[in-house]
């Protein structure tokens, strides 16, 4: 497997020289400075690529070539947006970059309520707390009909939390939820988020899937011509959030995705953390079933709780059987005769990570520990005795 590392560009507090010392050889990044819906110029791609190569690394995966909200809503000047996306794919292909990760989550990317959940070891992790999410949805956002989306016991606890919370607590909760938009231009206050949610009124899961299918029909042929594998990232968490539909959350959703436009250029980013937060998701089974469609791997772990809460566990801890998942993709690599890029996804705040201005989850030492653990699993599985 190709070891890669997510880097947020020249403004990232973690330098390329540090990343090279982790042992990773591939960089996962994007041109975050270009607004959503605009084309990525070839010269800008090559300039960033040259910067990466000067550090002894290669630009292995684009994450992300964002999908404009108008595409998800099915509104606006879609012909121009589709044309710009196709141009970006062609320009990336001319630069020899052949894997593009993206997602189709409306408004928000990954959602967490706590960016500094203290583990027993003293490390800090990301956490999704069902009670605080309900407090935000029902009592801060005051979304119409929100009560129906939360369990009665969770709602009761949410009201208690809100009654005892300070303005600082509520501001921290909002900023934590907004932190799941790494590299994005938009950050919302409560009125702004409420307005964005209203723009999705009447768009249910079926309508969102129809808009995804239209997007794929428009851009996958260009990806094929450019030699690019597009790979959809699953929803995080894999459930509706703030009344917004989520359509890449489980086995059936993945099957629907690859069936929309059958092509090697229409594939999956298999994220064990996102899919692992789904109670009904059997990740080893899903890995074996969808391995032929997977172009990129995000490897991390989660520990789930009965009320729907979860936190990001050690890479080899939590609920996901990581060795079984990795074994499925090592077998797929043998079948293909080529490596699948993976990255250690998210990491705890460990040791000298404290105080560094990194994106939440994208620490240096925490991810380095995860990479070392995953590297050990891969090495062990490669030397397993034949069955």
Q: Does 298 participate in catalysis according to the annotation?
A: yes
Tell me the backbone φ, ψ of residue 128, rounded to 5 degrees: -110, 115
Contacts of 98 (CB under 8 A, 6+ apart): 227, 228, 229
Q: Does 346 participate in catalysis according to the annotation?
A: yes
Q: Does 345 participate in catalysis according to the annotation?
A: yes
Q: Which of 137, 149, 345, 353 is catalytic?
A: 345
Q: Which of 233, 293, 311, 315 is catalytic?
A: 233
* Cβ pair 57, 23 in contact under 8 A: no
DSSP string, 271-339: EHHHHHTSTT--HHHHHHHHGGGEEEEEE-EEEE-TTS-EEEE-TTSSSS-HHHHHHHHHHHHHHHTS-
Q: Which of 150, 311, 346, 348 is catalytic?
A: 346
Q: Does 271 participate in catalysis according to the annotation?
A: yes
Give the separation between CA 59 and CA 30, rounded to whole angstroms: 9
SS3 194: helix
Give the separation between CA 157 and CA 128, rounded to whole angstroms: 15
Give the separation between CA 350 and CA 366, rounded to whole angstroms: 5
Q: Which of 85, 117, 200, 362 is catalytic?
A: 362
Q: Which of 200, 271, 314, 315 is catalytic?
A: 271
Q: Does 233 participate in catalysis according to the annotation?
A: yes
Q: Which of 150, 298, 311, 348 is catalytic?
A: 298
- Positions of E strands within 174-252: 229-232
Q: Does 315 participate in catalysis according to the annotation?
A: no
DSSP string, 133-154: HHIIIIIIS--TTGGGGS-HHH
Active site residues: 233, 271, 298, 345-346, 362
């Amino acid at each position: 497997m190709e070891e890669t590392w997510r880097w947020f560009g020249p403004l990232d507090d973690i330098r390329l020289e540090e990343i090279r010392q982790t042992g990773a050889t591939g960089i996962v990044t994007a041109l975050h400075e270009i607004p959503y819906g605009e084309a990525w110029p070839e010269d800008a791609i090559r300039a960033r690529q040259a910067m990466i190569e000067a550090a002894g690394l290669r630009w292995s995966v684009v994450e992300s070539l964002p999908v404009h909200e108008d595409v998800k809503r099915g509104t606006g000047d879609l012909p121009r947006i589709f044309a710009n996306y196709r141009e970006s794919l062609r320009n990336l292909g001319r630069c020899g970059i052949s894997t593009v990760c993206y997602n189709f989550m409306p408004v928000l990317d990954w959602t967490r309520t706590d960016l500094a959940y203290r583990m027993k070891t003293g490390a800090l992790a990301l956490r999704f707390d069902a009670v605080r999410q309900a407090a935000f949805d029902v009592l801060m956002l005051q979304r119409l009909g929100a009560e129906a989306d939360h369990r009665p016991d969770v709602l009761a606890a949410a009201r208690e939390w809100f009654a005892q919370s300070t303005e600082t607590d509520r501001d921290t909760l909002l900023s934590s939820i907004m932190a799941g938009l790494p590299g994005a231009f938009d950050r919302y206050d409560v009125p702004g988020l409420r307005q964005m949610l209203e723009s999705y009124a009447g768009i249910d899961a079926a309508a969102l899937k129809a808009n995804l299918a239209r997007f794929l029909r428009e851009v996958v042929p260009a990806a094929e011509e450019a030699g690019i594998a597009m790979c959809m990232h699953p929803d995080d968490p894999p459930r509706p959030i703030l009344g917004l539909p989520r359509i890449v959350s489980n086995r059936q959703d993945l099957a629907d995705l690859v069936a929309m436009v059958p092509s090697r250029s229409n594939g999956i980013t298999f994220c064990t953390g996102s899919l692992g937060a789904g109670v009904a998701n059997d990740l080893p089974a899903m890995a074996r079933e969808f391995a032929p469609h997977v172009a990129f791997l995000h490897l991390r772990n989660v520990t789930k709780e009965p009320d729907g809460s979860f936190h990001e566990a050690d890479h080899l801890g939590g609920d996901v059987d990581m060795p079984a998942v990795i074994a499925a993709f090592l077998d797929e690599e043998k079948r293909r005769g080529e490596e699948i890029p993976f990255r250690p996804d998210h990491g705890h705040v460990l040791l000298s990570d404290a105080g560094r201005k990194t994106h939440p989850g994208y620490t240096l030492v925490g991810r380095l520990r995860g990479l070392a653990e995953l590297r050990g699993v891969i090495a062990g599985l490669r030397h397993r005795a034949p069955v």
